[in-house]
Amino acid sequence: MNNGILFQGFEWFLPDNGNYYKDMHLKLDELESMGITAIWLPPVSKGTWSNDTGYGPYDLYDLGEFDQKGTVRTKYGTKDELVNLINAIHERGIQVYADVVLNHKAGADSSEKFMAVKVDSNDRTKQIEEPREIEGWTGFNFQARQNKYSDFKWNFNHFTGVDFDQLSGDKGIFRILGENKGWNLSVSKEFGNFDYLMFTNIDHAHPQVREELKKWADWFIEELHLDGFRMDAVKHIDSTFMNEFTNHLKSQHGDNFYILGEFWDSNVNANEKYLSDTEYDIALLDVGLHYNFFSASHNGESFDLRTIFDNSVVKLNPSKSVTFVDNHDSQPGQSLASFVEPWFKEIAYGLILLRQDGYPCIFYGDYYGTGGEYATQGFKDKLDVLSMIRKNHAYGSQDDYFNEPNLIGWVRHGDEEHTHKVVVVVSTKEKRSIRMFLGEDQASKVYADFTGNCLDKVQIDDDNYGEFIAEAGSISVWLEDGINL
């Protein structure tokens, strides 16, 4: 979508009151007006209890419809409220991507005894005990659902590992043994083999599992009229299965069905290999770029801005990059906490919203703020301005002026439908300026910084150049004075 903006519509510490879907409904008009073209919803299936964020999935078919795990609603609301929200989003011409968690299941209904071997948590390819019988929570029968939508029941054969032995009370990582059993091989090689992440780990090599997950995905898409998936924890899911799964989705729901993977690895070569392994059907969250932002925000003027896009998916493969500043995993209080410092937030969003490459994602927590023990303030007013400039003006070819470690800029030249120039300058040191060329017919025009960070005005000289300024430690976005955002 031309100049699209993805909005991650949640943060980790939303209240457990079941009002999320209704609250989001009230936000849709402002999100539409700022140029949001797709909303990424949290995992909407029933988790382990009412306050489960959805990343501890119990029953994928329960979208807030059945009395399971002590609640009918999920943390976010009921199925009817979810359907109403999606309908309202679609009425505004905005797409809906659902967060999909297929790596593991949680909150089993019963335990089972089976053979397993305990492995080294730092190298899961090494066993540290002899095989023995354990009792793991691997039975999922969903009695309250009474086979509605699916009669599939999960047992230990459908999983590769667990983290608790009920017989001994022993905690650790246990690889389940059996015919054709073992860790899935086409996963991240961190810790030797990173198939196991948490809870009861799904075996994506099992033929019954593969078919059930594809069947569920078809039902889920058709039930909610979804436009795309955000796939959780894909570096822990066998890429051979993911390739089969995405091919199925494309064949059943069209090539325009959008698939975004969370491959949390800042190594751009690992990202490129994953893209290749999945036949470039999956876009990836640009984790390397996020860590560049994090580093720049902590290192200030010692960070070389000319390297801000190094080791990023957007530099290597821009059409497969979803650029983001922060998300629910990187926010304070999370295991992957790497929150970009407040002074650099507006700069970082300028770097993803106002350039020609990448599909930018705005985080709910950066827009509205986050809750919990580590609550943070949002930047709604600043993000509104940057988003409106992207929506209405940031088009066409791009000239970069990445010439100094603490001072970078670029010019967007517009196109036939969007004729205004957009000039961006970032300084992480003192107040500085860059002389930039705007093209023909710009002489004598006056430009203003629409962020409000710099109150100076810039007049374009007879050679169609302007001396564009950024204040110390800030971003300025210059457009012709007097135009409407």
Active site residues: 232, 262
Q: Is 268 helix (H, G, I), strand (E, B) or coil?
A: helix
Distance between CA 129 and CA 177 in Å, rounded?
13
Q: Which two tokens stand for residue 473?
A: 């430690």
Q: Which two tokens stand for residue 68?
A: 């399971």
Distance between CA 270 and CA 277 in Å, rounded?
10
Distances (CA, A) of 229 to 240, 303, 385: 18, 35, 28
Distance between CA 463 and CA 5 in Å, rounded?
35
Backbone angles phi, psi at 31, to 5 degrees: -70, -40
User: In angstroms, how far is CA 97 from the centroid of its own chain?
Assistant: 10
Nearest of 426, 427, 437, 434 to residue 461 by alpha carbon: 437
Nearest of 229, 201, 205 to residue 216 by alpha carbon: 229
Distance between CA 266 and CA 289 in Å, rounded?
8
Distance between CA 366 and CA 382 in Å, rounded?
10
Bridge partners, 8 (sequence order): 40, 363
Interior/surface letters 20-29, b for 16+ CB within 10 angstroms, e for the rest: bbeebbebbe
* Pair 125, 104: CB distance under 8 Å: no
Nearest of 306, 307, 266 to residue 286 by alpha carbon: 266
Q: Which two tokens stand for residue 193?
A: 């083999």
Q: Is 85 helix (H, G, I), strand (E, B) or coil?
A: helix
Distance between CA 141 and CA 153 in Å, rounded?
5
- Angle among Cα 306, 307, 313 to the nearest 5 degrees reads 130
